[in-house]
Structure 1
Amino acid sequence: IQELIRLVAKVDDATKLVKEKEIILLLGGTGAGKSTTIHFLGGSKMAETKLKDMNHIAPIEIKNPDLKKVTTTPFAKSETRYIFPVTVNFRDIGVSGDGSIILCDSPGFEDTSGPEVDIAIKKKLLIKNS
């Protein structure tokens, strides 16, 4: 129950951050590379690494403080437990002009984290759509 309450609070926080803003929400199966893609698009320096005999492209230099909370792994194991927004300032990634975009990481389809994650996300969807 405590984990469910914590996750619902995190989903509520994310909802407030993205309300009425343009976002890009990355969707896909668990282990598809959503978190890795957000690191790349957000300006993290990436390199191929090996973890337990598995090749993995991972961030090796993270400049955006929001991205420090985004975990990547080569395993088909859920790391992202709730929708997590990352604000990327255009100037930080070499794009001219002021402005920013919000990239949102999300739990994967067929998530392996357990029922708490499903309940937290579905609760938020029900409230939003009612």
Structure 2
Amino acid sequence: MAEREEDVKLDGQKLLGLNPVYKKVPVLVHKGKILLESQLILEYIDQTWTNNPILPQDPYEKAMALFWAKVVDEQVTIRFSTLVKAEKGVEVAVEEARELLTFLEKEVTGKHLFGGVGHL
């Protein structure tokens, strides 16, 4: 049976409910299976669709791509959730997020980490 792409629209609460541990995105739903966290999703995609890998084949480059995915999961997501909650004030949260994204962009620009994409 051929796979078919489905455009599933989920409201925010339902999507967050798919991740009962952390209650955050990213979340991937494939064939009724729920996967959480960027690194695990990247590895799952590479192992499921082997003809079009996202992660580099070189072990060092793959490790670096997974490192940057972890940074996004642990740092960028936190900054944006802070922004949404506005605990520190919107201006402070926006500036922290901007600084982190600028640093991240500088570090990954020109590198082929995710399916040959070397920029944000």
Q: TM-score, normalised by structure 1?
A: 0.21
Q: Which has the larger share of helix? A: 2
Structure with greater contact order relative to length (CA < 8 Å, sep ≥ 6): 1
Q: Which has the larger share of strand? A: 1
- Between structure 1 and structure 2, the one with the greater Rg is 2
Q: TM-score, normalised by structure 2?
A: 0.22
